Structure 1
């Protein structure tokens, strides 16, 4: 195997230079937070919002296609066993399986990195209200979780359960965004309940991942530090999306009831 897909060296893995240690990721995330919270808001202070419709459509298509690819590769790497999340199954050590395991992990890293663009789109369109603490935390945390997958995957195929669910959610979400961007306003209003349902689906995703967590602790022997960090992130995301759902939708329901 070449270094672009990971090289097995005496049982260890030689990762590509940028992914060999966390400093590239830390640097990018630091710049990301600085740019979206300071540089771009200052840049947009006396400017009209950019439309960016074509770029957004392209971004949505790329995300959907990428998630379909991720699901296909997960099914291959796990031998279609990813849905059995409670089982501990070691990944096959065949040359092809190892190659595609690391190729997939690296692809997930760059895919999550590309999602940071969404925050910049919000700011450039002067939708700073969408750059919430939950939004920033979600993007930062998911990238760090993929880094853990690359370097600390000791629970085999079960580690891909999270990415599998997330890819399904993102296919639904980005498909909705694409349709909402090109459809007539009346159609968008008709599809509004789907937006609410996406938030519910995201919470269900996190709930299923939390159901999986005890099996990884008890049965799979995942390092305690990894489990604590992973569990903390998922709980925080679940709470964040639940809080968003409560404030965004239940408050709307109360207002309608008063009318």
Structure 2
């Protein structure tokens, strides 16, 4: 028993050493930004998020009618469109359209205006991931339980947690490529969601829903290819190669996932069941798979009225 306690203490001591080492490596330029001093506030937010979407929210809504959040969702989605446009522009002006080579680009650790601009947009991208937790809150309040999948929750919680560690150590450089691409896709995606939430009168403008998945696949290909070139360079002075490994694995994983969805939905013709908004295949992340998470209210009423008419005709 004493030996076991001693081993537990040693493991705890090593864990604290690693934690302190990681905190010591935080970029000093980020310490003035909210929630960048330690991972505790960020982790607390994510734990509250998990507690709400997995327990408190479903329990509270169990005997309540789903909320009608049409106006809130329209404002939310189009606000994220605007925010994503700003993020993409700032990434471009901070290096990707100015000084970066699009190959081996190290993190600029200076206090130059451009380097500080990259630090600011890196933090803004991370903060946008905290805002996007509201995606799942909308699902819960509207009782769209089929859309609160494991992969959706995993994506929304794992992404901001890992990106926090990424930006506090490497705000910029080639590791920020996937963030810029992801924000570009979000411009299109949340614009689609905003139109979907606006009601059935906008459905005729959503004929390109099928291509949302193709856009996602292109995103993952670009991210993985950009990370892959690192392994074929004779030398690269990017300071945090572990981030490149994680980005490559992340892009490849989601490429496989959405390739399977594309084959099932558009090659084999297996359509998703409709319930106001179409559910995700294979538990795909709600905000990543290109399937409408905002089509409710008007769209749902339109489908329901069609089903009622069909039943009346049969009767």
For the aligned pair, the TM-score class normalised by the smaller chain equals: 0.7 to 0.9
State the distance in 2 between where 1:20 and 1:230 align. 24
1:165 and 2:181 aligned: yes
CA spacing shift, 1:69–1:147, aligned 2, 3 Å: same
Match of 2:302 in 1: none
CA spacing shift, 1:92–1:206, aligned 2, 3 Å: same
Match of 1:211 in 2: 225
Instruction: State the SS of the aligned residue for 2:62.
Output: coil
Instruction: State the SS of the aligned residue for 2:35.
Output: helix
CA spacing shift, 1:183–1:14, aligned 2, 3 Å: closer
Counterparts of residues 78-97 of structure 1 (less than 5 Å): 78=95, 80-81=97-98, 84-88=101-105, 90-91=107-108, 93-97=110-114
1:13 and 2:22 aligned: no
Counterparts of residues 7-86 of structure 1 (less than 5 Å): 12-13=28-29, 15=31, 16=33, 18-78=35-95, 80-81=97-98, 84-86=101-103
Q: Kindly report structure 1 stretches of 4+ aligned residues shifted beyond 6 Å.
A: none
State the distance in 2 between where 1:248 and 1:83 align. 38
- Higher mean displacement: 226-235 or 56-65: 226-235
Q: What residue ranges of structure 2 are gaps of 5+ in the alignment?
A: 1-26, 272-315
Match of 1:202 in 2: 216
Match of 1:138 in 2: 155
State the distance in 2 between where 1:141 and 1:206 align. 17
Deviations 1:47-106 (A, max 9, x none): 111110111001111100001100111111106148842242553835322332222122
1:238 and 2:255 aligned: yes
Q: Contact between 2:103 and 2:226, CA under 8 Å: does it hold in 1? A: yes
Instruction: State the SS of the aligned residue for 2:29.
Output: strand
Deviations 1:185-226 (A, max 9, x none): 5x52x4554222111211210111111112335434453433
Superposition TM-score, scaled by structure 1 size: 0.81
Q: Contact between 2:105 and 2:238, CA under 8 Å: does it hold in 1? A: no
Q: CA RMSD in A?
A: 2.6
Whichever of the two has the greater Rg, that structure is: 2
State the distance in 2 between where 1:226 and 1:193 align. 37
Superposition TM-score, scaled by structure 2 size: 0.68
CA spacing shift, 1:157–1:82, aligned 2, 3 Å: farther
